[in-house]
Chain A
Amino acid sequence: MAAEYHSLGELVQLAKAQEKSVWEIVQLADMEDGERTAEQSFAKMHEMYQAMWQADQDYDGKRRSASKRAGGDGQKLEQYNAVGKNICGSFIGKVMEKAIKMGESNACMRRIVAAPTAGSCGVLPAVLLSFAEDFSVTEEMLVQALYVAAGIGKVIAENASLAGASGGCQAEIGSASAMAAGALVSLQGGDAEAIMHGAALALKNMLGLVCDPVAGLVEVPCIKRNSYGAVNAVTSAQLAMAGIRSAIDPDEVIDSMRRIGNQLPACLKETSEGGLATTESAKYYQVQENLTICEKQENNSRTI
């Protein structure tokens, strides 16, 4: 197997040894594992990019989730950015906005691309689509960046976890952030080493993040957290592009995520039995149908 990789280190080695980009190694491995030609593999990844783009286009600020409590924040941010109040620069302003929009679309049962999961689906597209709007890049390069993201995610999946139920949110938003950071470094022309360190920095700064979903839904704190995961990825990519390196070996960061995940108590791993999920506010966050008239009136003045 010319392109078999099971760690970030191996990805770097293969890229250097074969004088190829990281994305090419990931594609070669996919061709072998998935029994696809280069064209078939690329077409499939392109389909993922297009689905992300479409999902961003399809956002509707008037939609609400089944709980009736999620929706509309992406529109608020869009309007805020549009009237010139954004102090974060166009790129980061868009990243924040697109991430929340995608998180809301997911909560509203719209079509999204799990990357790596549905709960974290806002992170990667926010970074890639915003980059596409603000900088000069071809769609082909964006698909190549998706390969980089997928390769990083695959390493994390094999060596740790991508599921909140086993690793907490560090495994979902943390992993998505690492994937997006690597993708962003590759889009800016960073080499294999820089890509892996970008990913490591992103994940490292989300270690210990727990999964305490309010009312067992993929809404609070999940939707807004996509924004933080996306901006975290931008930060990490910038540090890596400036030549800053993770003091801890990237694969060891992944392993730390795994060990920390194992040490997290079950009440903080997607059981809604701890943290935010057991607050007074969480008790009010219920399916609207279950509320009495009095509670509905009281709720109208509360904000989450």
Chain B
Amino acid sequence: MDLFDIVGPIMVGPSSSHTAGAVRMGYVAGKLLGEPICEAEILLYGSFLATGEGHGTKKALVAGLLGMQPDDYQIADSFEIAAQRGITVVFGEAHLEDAHPNTAVIRLTGVGEKYTEVQVSSIGGSRISIDKIDGINTGFSGECPTLIVHNIDQPGCIVAVTSMLAKKNVNIATMQVYRSAKGEQAVMVVECDQPVSEDGIQWLEQVEGVLKVTYFAGIGA
């Protein structure tokens, strides 16, 4: 646990989980899309849905999508700024089961037609957990550089990822592997101690069996 999560972070109030955490949630979703946003649909669940208004949760989520950090004074004006940038934002209710009480499902469409759906929750302090990306369970914090690899479940994919990282001198902090069914689609979520370079990612994208590579450089990166 970082000392500066105890005294700190410097943030715009009123709530670590419902404001600062919400900004980070929007930020991660925007980064995962990987291109400027033109449409955002934000579905709220649980406590976020119930108390979002008073905590500025909606404004905070949009502020994060716009690339703001939790201490930005412009968080309160995020709706206006989004409108100025031509981004349409729609809010709704998420119908989930057993999700964390501070969860949002964020669906983003980019200017280049990219689309992503991210389920992310605010778990306390201003920490977040990215629970699902495009329907696949993930479960990482976004605090450090994270590689998400979608691949066909077959031998060789894991070693391709780990050997690339070893070659680039990147240490693996945590690694989770999931698959939908044997031989079907699989996902690897690798949290790293160091950033992963662009050419490392491009190399991975060419590996046989790898379907998609998403890289998140880390909150504050």
Contacts and interface: CB of A to CB of B under 8 A. Distances in A.
Interface of A: 26, 29-30, 33-34, 41, 44-45, 47-48, 51, 65-67, 105-119, 121, 124, 146-147, 149-151, 153-154, 157-158, 162-163, 165-166, 179, 215-219, 271-272, 287
B188 interface: no
B7 A109 contact: no
Judged by DSSP, the binding face of B is: mixed
Nearest to A213: B51
B7 A149 contact: yes
6 contacts: A48-B10, A113-B8, A116-B7, A153-B7, A154-B6, A216-B51
B67 interface: no
A109 B75 contact: yes
B54 A114 contact: no
Contacts of B125: 114, 116-117, 162-163
Given A109-B76, A114-B125, A216-B50, A48 B7 contact: yes
A124 B51 CA distance: 27
A217 B14 contact: yes
Chain B CB within 10 Å — which of A29, A107, A149, A219 has the most? A107
Given A26-B3, A162-B6, A217 B12 contact: no
B201 to A, nearest CB: 24
**How extensive is the interface on chain B, given as a class?**
20 to 34
B14 A48 contact: no
B138 to A, nearest CB: 23
Nearest to B50: A216
Sort A-B residue pairs by CB-CB distance and give the 10 closest, nearest first: A216-B51, A106-B13, A153-B6, A218-B14, A217-B54, A150-B7, A30-B3, A51-B10, A163-B124, A118-B16
A216 B53 CA distance: 10
Interface string B7-40: 1111111111101100000000000000000000
A114 B16 contact: yes
Given A26-B3, A33-B3, A117-B125, A109 B12 contact: yes
